[in-house]
Structure 1
Amino acid sequence: MNLHNFTSALDSLSNQELINRFNQEVGNSGWTSSRGEFLLALNRQFTDRGIDFSSIGDGASLSLKNKIKLAGNIILILKA
């Protein structure tokens, strides 16, 4: 898949489903260009939906160290 395909697929998800997709990536140390495009599409979804994801990243990157939850429109880190 490419960025356009990932964007289209993520467009149809609810905010909670986006969080679930992010959490599926936590702990996965593998890296491919396709995964990079998926994470970019996810990053853009957070921005486009007005979700505050400053606790895990910015417009250029996302931290995949911890699982997250959504409180209103703010992403909070789940403590292990």
Structure 2
Amino acid sequence: MEEQSRTDKNILRKGIKRLVICLVLMFLGPTLVHLTLSNDDKPLYIPLLIVSILLCILAIVMLFIGLNTIMDSMFKRNN
């Protein structure tokens, strides 16, 4: 008998949460980059620029992790 593969709902839920976090970071990072670059005479220019670039990188990483988690929930077989 062949088992039907089903989507693991708990892993799918975890992947969707990661994509929601990614969505928030996708708006927060570039907005902070724009605000930082428009105020380059402020004393916190360099630290804010570093934090905003890290947020942009984290958004990309969370996108790949979230999509990988969703793909795992759909196509991996539990033995």
- TM-score, scaled to structure 1: 0.34
Name the structure where strand makes up a greater proportion of residues. 1
User: Which has the higher Rg, Structure 1 or Structure 2?
Assistant: 2
Name the structure where helix makes up a greater proportion of residues. 2
RCO higher in 1 or 2 (8 Å CA, sep ≥ 6)?
2
